[in-house]
Amino acid sequence: MHKVMEIVASYFVSFLFAITLVIYAWKLLDWAWFRPRKLEKCLRKQGLKGNSYKLIFGDIKELSKSFEDAKSKPLNVSDDDISPRIAPFFVETIKKHGKNCFIWLGPKPMVLVREPEAIRDVFNKYALFQKPKSTPLTKLLAQGVASYEEDKWAMHRKILNPAFHMEKIKSMLSAVHLSCTEMVSQWEESVSMKGTSCEVDIWPYLQRFTSDVISRTAFGSNYEEGRKIFELQKEQAVHVIEATRTLYIAGARFLPTKRNRRMKEIDKKVQEMISGIIDKRVKAMKAGEANTDDLLGILLESNFKEIEQHGNKNFGMTTREVIEECKLFYFAGQETTSVLLVWTMILLSRHLDWQARAREEVLQVFDDGKLDFDGLNRLKIVTMILNESLRLYPPVDALNRKITTNTKVGELSLPAGVMLLMPIVLLHHDKEIWGEDATEFKPERFSEGVLKATKGKMTFFPFGGGPRICLGLNFAMMEAKMALAMILQRFTFELSPSYTHAPQNVITTQPQYGAPLLLHRL
């Protein structure tokens, strides 16, 4: 009898194992084949075109190859039509299939959305159109408010908002001024050693400047530690972009590859460093000695108020979440402004008439040489130039969303599971929107402001749009105006003969071979 029971039990276990195997095999087959084919049929039925689905990989191999090919071919130095280099696969797909098209990110179809009203809807209905979940490897760079949804996003945004009020930004102006003074002093020293002019690769300096600004405005007196965090985050970004251009396989992060080990090592170091800064600050705040004027101080104070208001720690941010927000300050704050400044200076090096007009305005507004917040807001020509730079060289080339339930996007009825891509750089360069001179540098487009230039349509969105528009937009623009004004007060600049025009996508749009300029002391 005992033996019979053993046999029955053995059969039962084998049966359960077989059923489990069949269930997982079906799920895998559905994920890899049946569901993609069903979605493809739905998209084609509505007139959308794209490559036929290839098992598991979709268009990923072609996508990666197009980036590598584009990266190997620099542009003509006067060419601002950067789309074929920054978003080559999207450009090729549109040429092949027309504007109403889709691509395959593995087994997920991604529809290109280019209709301004549809884009506005996607931004405004953020509960329906959510940000795709980060893979475990990409999460190592930063999460924070930019990646959260629904209640968690609302709570984090509420806690962070006080840090970006205009009065708080105004109080951070001195930190921006100090960081910029250090940078231009180094340039002046380099020029003095050579006489009246010299070649300087401005790209690493601008990265260091914006890193110092974030370090000072986020961590106050701990900005030296902030510098080390930035260097690690910069390296992490390179690893993340490599990871996003390969097919994500669940569990792959556990493989002991060189990249996986290094990414986890960086994450651990950054966590420890920011955690140490937070611990010191919390102790100082409890002792009544802390500075609450920097971003970290404002964030912690706002977080404590949220917890006190509800009498429950579940309503505030955890230490880990505060760390993630600090990592996001670093990446988003530093990257956005440094790329905006580098492309603006490259454009002004080629368009010396606009450089002269901007300098004349700066010298007129700040006739005593001292920069102040109100004066920065009166720099109309400088603002036009920065907007045109953001149009031609947007910091991020595209934004994507996932559809959470069957819904309409413009004229299309799309099922849950479809991804949406809003190709910023393609819309910013679209001749139907901006005219035949769409790929030319013409700041006068923005002479009457963004609203007039876009005719009120969602065709210019370098910082996103809707309720989830970039929280640091005003801070980034203030920082860029301050830096550009200070540089224009002290130097004229032009492209060096050694400059190679090669914009590349490393999460943000960066100059592949740096930005060597000839600086002339005024």
| pTM of the complete model | 0.89
Measuring CA to CA, how many Å separate 266 from each of 229, 271, 461? 9, 8, 32
Check: CB of residue 87 under 8 Å from CB of residue 66. Answer: no
Check: CB of residue 343 under 8 Å from CB of residue 480. Answer: no
* Ramachandran bin of 39, using left for φ above 0, alpha for ψ from -120 to 50, beta for the remaining angles: alpha
Residue 167's pLDDT is what? 84
Residue 149's pLDDT is what? 82
DSSP class of residue 445 equals G
Map 409-435 to HEC letters.
Answer: ECCEEECCCCEEEECHHHHHCCHHHHC
Q: Read off the pLDDT of residues 315-372 as tens digits, 9 standing for 90 and up.
A: 678 778 877 887 787 777 778 899 999 999 999 999 999 999 999 999 999 998 899 9
Mean pLDDT by 10 residues, the chain (522 residues): 64 75 85 92 94 93 91 94 95 94 95 95 90 69 77 83 83 90 95 91 94 81 69 80 63 71 88 83 75 75 78 71 79 85 98 98 93 95 98 95 91 92 96 96 97 94 91 91 97 97 91 97 91
Measuring CA to CA, how many Å separate 371 from each of 278, 313, 379, 381? 32, 43, 11, 16
Q: Read off the pLDDT of residues 79-100 as tens digits, 9 standing for 90 and up.
A: 999 999 999 999 999 999 999 9
Residue 244's pLDDT is what? 66
Phi, psi of 220 (to 5 degrees): 60, -125
Q: Kindly tell me the number of DSSP H helices and DSSP E strands found in the chain.
A: 22, 12
- The set of residues, in sequence order, having a beta carbon less than 8 Å from that of 309 and lying 6+ positions away, is 315
